[in-house]
Amino acid sequence: MIAQLADRRIGRAYATARNRFGRTPFWSRVIAVLAIVGATVVINGDDYVTSVAVTVATYAMLGLGLNIVVGYAGLLDLGYAAFFAIGAYTSALLMTQAKWNFFATVPLAVLFTGTAGAILGYPTLRLRSDYLAIVTLGFGEITRITFNNWEYAGGPNGILGIPWPSVFGFELNTQADFFIVGLALLAIAMIFAQHLDHSRLGRGWVAIREDEFAAESVGVPSLRLKLFAYVMGGMWGGLAGAFFATRIGAIDPTSFTFQLSVLVLIVIVLGGTGSLPGVLLGALVVVGLPEVLRQFADQRLLVFAVLLVGMMLLRPQGLWPRIRRKPKPFYGLQEEEPGDVAERILREHQAQIVERDRRHTAAGHKSSSVGDVLLDVHGVVQQFGGLRAVDNVSFQVRNGEIFSIIGPNGGGKTTLFNCITGVQRPKRGRIMFDGRSLVGLRPHVVVSRGIGRTFQGIRLFKNMAVFENVMVGLYPRHRTMTWQAMLHTPGERKDELRTLQESRRWLSFVGLESLAGRLATELSYADQRRVEIARALAAHPHLVLFDEPAAGMNPTEKVELMGIIRKIRDLGITVVLIEHDMSLVMRVSDRIAVLDHGVLIALDKPAAVQENPAVIEAYLGREEDDLGAVKEA
Amino acid sequence: MGVFLQYTVIGLTVGSFYALVALGYTIVYGIIRLINFAQGDLSMVGAFLGWTLLVSFGFEHLPIYIALVIAFVIPMIGTAVVNIGILQFAYKPLLRRSLLAILITALGMSLLLQNSAELIWGPAIQAYPPNLLPLSGFFVGPVHVTYVQIALVIASLLLMGGLVAFVQGTTMGTAMRALAVDHDAARLMGINVDAVIRIAFVLGAMLAAASGVMLGIYYVQIQFTMGFLLGLRAFTAAVLGGIGNIPGAMAGGLLIGLLEAYTTGYLSGTWEDVVVFGVLITVLVVKPTGLFGERVAERM
């Protein structure tokens, strides 16, 4: 009994300590851990152990950089050694030719590699990931060969006699010194990586990795973010390269081969892609294992290969995978009464609308009020080969109404949505929203104009938590800059907190607050649809397009959905609905458009559409006996 | 002009080896969307098996036709067995999981094959019997063409033709094409998906092994590291032509071979990779699906 009590007390003390540790700022934790590791190695390790540790630190820096590109943004990069090389050569040339101090060369090396990232990234942004693999591989080889053939940089002999780093005239020249410098740089790399990870940029990257199309459609500018990923990844590589140059003292092109790129990739996949502690662990294994295997002498690479394959088979997710599930995602946020939440959402939404209307009017456009035409689709034609999916369709959606589009499968409904949201460009026709044309805009711009959407087949970011999914939907409303995210400034922190708070409100709006910490895939089908709705609403759109939101729902869930749709309209958001469930459509809609084979065959109030002979024919064919079916529904 | 044609002949010969390996990449990729990085090393394994038969077992002293048949057929079978082993042991457990994990496994298998070969055949360069095929040739105008070149190019063309006939003309080939479009639909139609994947790996390995033996005959020297560059070039070729596309892989292979020959001839061997990758990147930027590729849905 007493023992149990004591046990529990110890358990609680441990939990408190853990909690306190967990709540201290990340940078202080990184410094604490690295200081302990550093002290242990420096005091106990001989030169050999320390030099291996220096290599581990170098690989960890590289891993952190590649992790941004591959782990977060999901862009397969097989030529990462190029950035390492550019960083190393920049730093080495500045030190040997211009006699700069090592620490002064680091910012320039980082700048250069960031630029190289942009140069590689820009033309290749639209490539598929497998193609990206070979292009990046080619980039790596081209960089290496260029250095190999570049006389000024020593050609194949490379650069010799790179000075040691020095601080205030003290030369740092022992392995222990290098290790301390390496750990300091690693700490910086680690802290910045963590800040990015927990910023809107990090979420945007992961969203792109999970589903680029969906990310773009909820307002994430995917091309720009991918470019950022290359630039950031390059910068980390440059940091590692500069450190490598001064530490090794002599660099030549053979240090920057394809094999190195592969090893760094192994570091992050082995550790668990997207996981920061995983990168450290991966670096330790990739560098340390061959050292441990020295007793196998000639066969050590063979043993390494076998172990590598074995580890991938046993733990394909990596040794220390990143799990985005969170038991208490809103821990520490101010509690709000459920009644309060609706009130706050309404107030927030109205504030947003007022703000947007103000900007809209300031830009010389006329803002629409309730009852005005909000969305004007005129003569839209979309064609795939010989098939006219949408044939000269025109209709107008008024501000504040619930407008449904129905029709048999293959009628062109989703294609129409895709034309409106910028996924496809209509062959002909005009689409005006709030007085401005939408044709030719990229999907994320359409979102920022005030249109949200959901998808016919659910497209959530599967391996992100539910609340994160909604936070991605808030992306277009953020105002913080990348540098603020990297430094984790107070402004950025406030913005993040507000985002989290809002994501909670939207989840409680659709009744999912209790499931917010789960992974999106762990939810039931109906709940996933509701998350999609919350994600589409998060950016405070003027208009939402729901593509078959009731599909797969049971009758109770459908009734709840109807309630949600009405609540959305009550916020002042116009709703356009594609739906096959006739009872839902008939009960919730103000007006209904019917599309059949791409042609608009009816547009009227629900009751009138039900009676319309053309509609009945489209659904049932010409048989007179079946007339009742649509009516009945 | 004569020089140009001479380079063209060399380029086409080497290019046909690349094309064979590239076909292996493309077939496997088309079906399971995996870049099988071990493909080039399978070629190396094939080359060493052929060498073992010809030199160690002394089959080079048999009548030339019999020796050649043995030197091609047995390595092709042996390499196919190796590739099936890799598939079953290393890739299959991961097929429905992360593609990145399979990719790393493929890199691991490449490393494993190289180091096993080093263990078995040693790190030294080995030599194919130099006089297996008559080294002589003839002149077409100013261009010198050897019989070896003709024989090897014809053999590659025959193999490619065989592959196309298989994919286009047999039930199994139809199943392969179906699988490339949609795994689940193919399975629902009663296609034994696992069997088709195995066939793809067998075909890929056989083509790789054949190209390995040809390389041995053509260049004489072979080494356990030879698969890396070969694989890289072939992979480039497959992507250049549009990965997953069979005629694309052939055209890509020949194109890469020509590029390489012209660069080495007119510029310098050191710029080979720069030119090859430069052309690749340019093509992909202009036409992101490769020369003959069609849009394929992403899976990663």
pLDDT, tens digit, 9 for 90 and up, residues B181-210: 888 888 888 889 899 999 999 999 999 999
CB A399 within 8 A of CB A370: yes
> Which residue among A76, A141, A302 sits closest to B273, beta carbon to beta carbon?
A141
In this predicted model, what pLDDT tens digit does every residue of A109-120 receive, in sequence order? 999 999 999 988
CB A252 within 8 A of CB A92: no
- Once rounded to an integer, what is the mean pLDDT over residues A8-23? 62
> Which residue among B104, B271, B284 sits closest to A266, beta carbon to beta carbon?
B104
> Is this complex scored with an ipTM above 0.95?
no
Amino acid at A492: E
Mutate to test the interface with A, among B32, B102, B104 (most CBs of A within 10 A): B104
**Res A626: pLDDT:** 47
Assigned token pair, A47? 């030169």
Assigned token pair, B109? 């298998």
Q: How many A/B residue pairs have CB atoms within 8 Å? A: 120
How would you class A271 by CB atoms within 10 Å of its CB: exposed for 0-12, middle for 13-18, buried for 19 or more? buried
Mutate to test the interface with B, among A275, A312, A459 (most CBs of B within 10 A): A312
CB A615 within 8 A of CB A409: no
Percent of chain B with pLDDT over 90: 44
* Cα separation, A342 vs A348, whole angstroms: 10
Closest chain B residue to A73 measured between Cα atoms? B300
Top CATH class, A374-450+541-633: alpha beta
The domain locations on chain A are: 26-257, 338-367, 374-450+541-633
In this predicted model, what pLDDT tens digit does every residue of A573-626 receive, in sequence order? 999 999 988 889 999 999 999 998 889 998 999 989 888 888 888 877 655 544
Query: Are B108 and A299 within 8 A, CB to CB?
Result: no
In this predicted model, what pLDDT tens digit does every residue of A396-421 receive, in sequence order? 999 999 999 998 887 889 999 999 99
**Res B202: pLDDT:** 95
CA distance A97 to chain B (A): 26
> Which residue among A142, A262, A317 sits closest to B273, beta carbon to beta carbon?
A142
CB atoms within 10 A of CB A632: 9
> Which residue among B35, B111, B270 sits closest to A145, beta carbon to beta carbon?
B270
Query: Are B111 and A137 within 8 A, CB to CB?
Result: no
Interface of B with A in 115-154 (CB under 8 A): 115-116, 118-119
pLDDT at residue B85 tops 70: yes
pLDDT at residue A122 tops 60: yes
Q: What order do you get walking across the sheet with A574-578 strand by strand?
A: A451-453, A543-547, A574-578, A402-406, A591-596, A599-604
What residues of chain A lie within 8 A of the CB of B273, using their CB? 138, 141-142, 145
CA distance B102 to chain A (A): 8
First to last CA, chain A: 65
Assigned token pair, B100? 């990145």
* Average pLDDT value over all residues in chain A: 87
* Cα separation, B239 vs B291, whole angstroms: 8
Query: Are B97 and A316 within 8 A, CB to CB?
Result: yes
CA distance B187 to chain A (A): 22
Interface of B with A in 258-277 (CB under 8 A): 270-271, 273-274, 276-277
In this predicted model, what pLDDT tens digit does every residue of A75-109 receive, in sequence order? 989 899 999 999 999 999 999 999 999 999 999 99
What residues of chain B lie within 8 A of the CB of A282, using their CB? none
- Once rounded to an integer, what is the mean pLDDT over residues A243-261? 91
Radius of gyration of chain A (CA): 29
Query: Are B90 and A138 within 8 A, CB to CB?
Result: no
Residue B34's Cβ-side half-sphere holds a number of Cα atoms within 13 Å equal to 30
Query: Are B290 and A145 within 8 A, CB to CB?
Result: no
